[in-house]
Amino acid sequence: GWSALIGQWANRRLMPGRPYKATLTAPIPNMGVDPVALRGAAYLRRRLPCNAVDLAPRCVRLEMRLTLGPGESAAAVKAYTRSRTPGETEAPIRAVKQTMLVGIICDPATLLPYATETLTRTQYMHPHGEGPDVMVREDRQVFTYGEPLGTLE
């Protein structure tokens, strides 16, 4: 949830552009397995206005770029394979890859959000056979609070 997300920056002195280690637990859509750890980096990108009313650059843009590691991917595929009922017609999954990009515009002192955006891209690799062997799912969530300043570009 929000606490796990904003916890990546709480009580840190951030330098613009410098990467910080980040870990976030998230589900893998369509697999029905326990949430997995995504690892990567968190960044303070730049200062910018908080909203369209107050155009002074009082807020910051924070970003995270996370990926599912090979060990977590293999464990998720194994759990998914174990959970399947013999004879199911759904195509088996050979491997899964997941990346997540998170952007937050917030007050740097309080971490009060003005806008958040999350893009999650999941790739499911199926054994070779008939049909495509890779299925891609992209999920995008955007939340704005108060009177936001446009999008998270």
What pLDDT score was predicted for residue 153?
46
Percent of the chain with pLDDT over 90: 24
Query: What is the secondary structure of 63-89 as a DSSP string?
Result: EEEEEE-HHHHHHHHHHHHHHSPTT--
What pLDDT score was predicted for residue 130?
65
Average pLDDT over residues 26-40: 87
pLDDT higher than threshold 90 for residue 89: no
Distance between CA atoms of 118 and 152, rounded to whole angstroms? 10
Task: Tell me which H or E stretch contains 144.
Answer: strand 134-144
pTM of the model: 0.80
What pLDDT score was predicted for residue 142?
87
Distance between CA atoms of 24 and 132, rounded to whole angstroms? 30
What pLDDT score was predicted for residue 152?
47
pLDDT higher than threshold 60 for residue 33: yes
For 79-88, the pLDDT digits (tens) are: 888 877 776 6
For 106-149, the pLDDT digits (tens) are: 888 888 888 889 999 999 888 766 666 888 999 998 888 765 55
Beta bridge partners of 95: 125
Distance between CA atoms of 111 and 7, rounded to whole angstroms? 10
pLDDT higher than threshold 70 for residue 1: no
For 41-86, the pLDDT digits (tens) are: 999 899 998 877 878 999 999 999 999 998 999 988 888 888 777 7
